[in-house]
A and B are shown apart, each in its own frame.
Chain A
Amino acid sequence: MLKISNLTVGYSRSLRPALNGVSLEVGTGEVVCVVGESGSGKSTLALACLRLLGSDVEIGGTIELDGRNIFSLSAAELRNVRGREIGFVNQDALSSFSAYWTVGEQIAETIEAHTNLPRRIAWERTLDQLASVRIDNPERIARSYPHELSGGQRQRAALAMGLALRPRILIADEPTSALDVTTASHLLALLRQLQREYSIGVLLITHDLRVVEAVADRVAVMYAGILGEVGARDEVLRRPRFPYTRALIDSLDLERARGSLKGVPGVPPGLSETLPGCPFAPRCTRAEDICQRMSPAPVTIGETVVRCHFPDSVEGVEVHVHSVG
């Protein structure tokens, strides 16, 4: 349904593209998680799907929604895709609602922008919508300003807005990062439930493997603008083939670490560093000469696509990841 093919995004004034040859598909009724650390390009990917990257970027490749390339839509078509066909939930709901208008006004505004419903009907749909994300007393929440709500309520309201027009795809950029663990797990459970109910595809951006464990059907591991590994959640988490995935899992595995948290040594490359080889090579424990010199081509193993010169080297290790809920 949503098909990203060989997407390359370069910001002007940076030497290295923020996204480099990213290919990923989100099908009907599946949750695809893109996981990576800050600066890996995952938010760029989310914004690219809605063509929200601004004018000073160079874009290569395509993003297709049912065969229509997002980048060749007219302004009017694009406006129809945004909100109606692809919903969006931002990381920080406080900044994704305008402070001057109530939450309800803004959800109703989205409904009105895409339908010709009179204000009163749009308002009633807004209340229904808030009720559908399990907000009790939707009337009061709808009449509240964003800053008057708790983080959890705000994020639910943002989810309600993203789903207001029953889009077939929802893009959620770190929807739980601003929430505490309990609220986050409730929101993820709700997201999963609504996703099944409406049978929509979800592209969920996160830095947290526990979120992946909780909701993903498939997972894509992003590092410095490339997708190192794309595959079914259990396959990737149990048998990681991209060394960075392995390192991420290790850094989370409290039980194995026994009190001493193990980070991934080194720092990810900035946008001003050029990388002739695999971008993870400088931090990779099993990097060899070729990794520094040549960018690895995608290799398909079973249902997993890996970009590594030695994709078998981390096979067969049983990994346990803690679940949040």
Chain B
Amino acid sequence: MSAAAENSRPPRPWRMPALLDVFAVVAIVLLVLLAIVVIAPGIFSARNPLALEISARLHGLSDAHPLGTDELGRDLLARIAYGARNSVGVSLLIVVIAVVVGLVWGTIAGWFGGWLDAMMMRIVDMFLAFPAFVLAMALAAALGPSLTSVAIALAAVWWPGYARLVRGSVIALRSSGHVVAAQAQGLPTSRIIWRHVLRFIWRDVNVRATADVGYALMAVTALSFLGLGAQSPTPEWGLLIRSSAAYFYTAWWYMAFPGLAVTLTAVSLSILGDWIAARPGR
């Protein structure tokens, strides 16, 4: 009888860990570090990111300023560390809003179907028909340049993707055996949707959301770089890169470190997403 329940699996022979696993470990370490920076930037830099020090303008790497200073003598390490909260925090917020709105929207459309579905998905199509970046730029320009308007603009272009993803899966699951069985048992609809439908979609959403935080980060920094997002003196990665552009030939560290922060974070999130998707099972 059911041998699977007993623990009788033969020991697995050792094999080389896959390249993706190695990358994933590095990515996770970096992201944990980043999370600490976002939660407590003070640990990494005792300096105030806004404190000016005119005597130390555009200083290179030194013990006092491990990553150098900017054109007003502000400590770059402090600005990057405190900037993480703005750049990564806003990216996370954008994806959370997009996931929640998309999940609710897609579930309602997919589960109830009919004219409601048709109407809701036409609205999604409307949003998808706009080039995402242009819509975000237009919104940010209309609402006035700030991190808040960037967040609103990007969340507005991001949720339709989740609505699509969720709706498709809900429709496929709605007629699957275990959902019909759950209905036949007379379970409340809310419970069926929560435990027998969304539970099955969660993994796909998770994979996508993980990678999307990275893409959102690039979009946030790009919009800030264009001057539509964070405004001086807020420490923010995109804005740092924007203001560094003028000193590109004289102060390499000024552009390199904020750029590295964006790149490493985005790549780490992308690898993590791939890794979650490639993992077997639940």
Interface residues of A (CB under 8 A from B): 47, 50, 52, 54-55, 78-84, 88, 90, 92, 94-101, 109-110, 113-114, 140-141, 144, 147-150, 153, 161
| CB<8 Å pairs between A and B, sample of 9 | A52-B180, A54-B175, A82-B183, A88-B184, A95-B176, A140-B5, A149-B2, A150-B2, A161-B185
Q: How far is the CB of B80 from chain A (nearest CB, A)?
A: 41
Q: Nearest chain-A residue to B175 (Cβ)? A: A54
By the criterion CB–CB under 8 Å, are B200 and A100 in contact?
yes
Q: At the interface, yes or no: B22 with Cβ under 8 Å from chain A?
A: no
Given the complex of chains A and B, what is the CA–CA distance between A100 and B176 in angstroms?
14
Residue of A nearest to B282 (CB): A100
- Contact (Cβ within 8 A) B191 A109: yes
Q: Once the chains bind, are B182 and A84 in contact (CB under 8 Å)?
A: no
Q: Do the beta carbons of A83 and B195 come within 8 Å of each other?
A: no
CA distance A100 to B196 in the complex (A): 8
State which of B2, B178, B185 has its C-beta within 8 Å of the C-beta of A144. Answer: B2
Chain B nearest CB from A76 CB (Å) reads 10
User: 8 tightest A-B contacts by CB?
Assistant: A95-B177, A83-B186, A82-B186, A96-B181, A88-B184, A148-B4, A83-B185, A110-B185
CA distance A78 to B113 in the complex (A): 20
**A96–B5 alpha-carbon span in the complex (Å):** 20
B contacts with A: majority SS: helix
Q: Which residue of B114, B177, B184 has the most chain A CB atoms within 10 A of its CB atom?
A: B184
Bound CA span A97–B177, Å: 8
Q: A83-B185, A83-B187 are in contact. List 19 more A-B contacts (CB 8 A).
A: A52-B183, A54-B175, A79-B188, A84-B186, A90-B184, A95-B176, A95-B178, A95-B181, A98-B195, A100-B199, A109-B195, A110-B185, A113-B187, A113-B191, A140-B5, A144-B5, A148-B5, A153-B1, A153-B2
- What's the nearest-Cβ distance from chain A to residue B49, in Å? 45
8 Å CB contact of B195 from A84, A94, A101, A140: A101
Contact B178 A113 (CB under 8 A): no
B178 touches A82 (CB 8 A): no
Q: What's the Cα separation between A98 and B188 when bound, in Å? A: 16
A9 CB to nearest B CB, Å: 16
**Please, what's the 1-or-0 string for B156-191, where 1 marks a CB less than 8 Å from any CB in chain A?**
000000000000000000011110111111111001
A52 to B199, CA, bound (A): 22
- Alpha-carbon separation in the docked complex, A54 to B184 (Å): 13
Asked if B182 and A98 sit within 8 Å, CB to CB, the answer is yes
B114 touches A88 (CB 8 A): no
Report the bound CA distance from A98 to B180 in whole Å: 11
Give the distance in Å from the alpha carbon of A109 to the alpha carbon of B184 in the complex: 13
Question: Are B114 and A55 in contact, with the CB atoms below 8 A?
Answer: yes
Q: Nearest chain A CB to B6's CB is how many angstroms away?
A: 9
CA distance A79 to B189 in the complex (A): 9
B175 surroundings in chain A (CB, below 8 A): 54
Contact with A along B101-122 (1 / 0, CB 8 A): 0000000000001100000000
Task: List the B residue with the shortest CB-CB distance to A101.
Answer: B195
CB distance from B213 to the nearest CB of A (A): 25
Residue of A nearest to B177 (CB): A95
A80-B186 contact in complex given A97-B178, A109-B191, C-beta closer than 8 Å:
yes
Proximity bits, B193-220, A CB within 8 Å = 1, else 0: 0011001100000000000000000000
Q: Report the Cα distance A55→B186, complex, angstroms.
A: 18
Q: Which residue of A lies closest to B113 (CB)?
A: A55
Whether B282 lies near A148 (C-beta < 8 A) is: no
Give A10 to B36 CA distance when docked, in angstroms: 61
CB distance from B4 to the nearest CB of A (A): 4
Contact A82:B5 (CB < 8 A) given known A95-B176, A95-B177, A100-B200:
no
Cβ A113 vs Cβ B184 within 8 A: no
Shortest beta-carbon distance from A307 to chain B in Å? 29
Residues of B within 8 A of A141 (CB): 2
Bound CA span A147–B5, Å: 10
Task: Tell me the nearest residue of chain B to A107, going by C-beta.
Answer: B185
A99 with B183, Cβ < 8 A, contacts A140-B5, A153-B1 known: no
Q: How far is the CA of A321 from the CA of B4 in the complex (A)?
A: 39
**Neighbouring A residues of B177 by C-beta, 8 Å:** 90, 92, 94-96
CB-CB nearest in chain A for B200:
A100
Bound complex: CA of A54 vs CA of B175, how far in Å? 9
Contact B184 A50 (CB under 8 A): yes
The interface residues of chain A lying within 8 Å CB-to-CB of B176 are: 95
Q: In this complex, what residue of B is CB-closest to A113?
A: B187
Nearest chain-A residue to B181 (Cβ)? A96
Task: Return chain B residues, CB-CB under 8 Å to A97.
Answer: 178, 181
Q: Kindly list chain B residues whose C-beta atoms are within 8 Å of the C-beta of A99.
A: 178
Q: How far is the CB of B67 from chain A (nearest CB, A)?
A: 46
Give chain A residues whose Cβ lies under 8 Å from the Cβ of B282: 100
CB of B187, distance to nearest CB on chain A (Å): 5
| A140 CB to nearest B CB, Å | 6
Closest to B174 in A: A54
